[in-house]
Amino acid sequence: MKNAEIIKTATSKTQTSSIDQPVNNPKDCKNSATLALYHAVGARTEAIISNTEAIGTANLLNKYLIITYCNHLLKL
């Protein structure tokens, strides 16, 4: 898988997992964030296997997801 494909896939799965799903309580938020992190970590693993520069992007996605998750908890 090429660099651009990994980034596109990771971003798409991340948005589907954490942004598009409604978050009504901390449990839902945690589940969505966990699923999104799972996809981001998977993208990082794919990047390592294919030896691309997508690792940095996957790491940024992880940081974004953690921050988003914490912000959701603060609003609840």
Q: Is 10 exposed, middle or buried (0-12, 13-18, 19+ CB in 10 A)?
A: buried
Instruction: Give how many domains the chain has, as a whole number.
Output: 1
Q: What single letter denotes the amino acid at residue 12?
A: S
pLDDT at 17: 45
Per-residue pLDDT of the chain (76 residues; tens, 9 = 90+): 455 565 566 555 544 444 444 445 555 555 666 667 666 766 666 666 665 566 666 667 777 777 777 777 777 6
pLDDT at 31: 64
Distance (Å, whole) CA 35 – CA 28 = 11
Distance (Å, whole) CA 6 – CA 22 = 25
Distance (Å, whole) CA 67 – CA 45 = 21
**Which residue range forms the structural domain that includes residue 47?**
3-75
Whether pTM exceeds 0.75: no
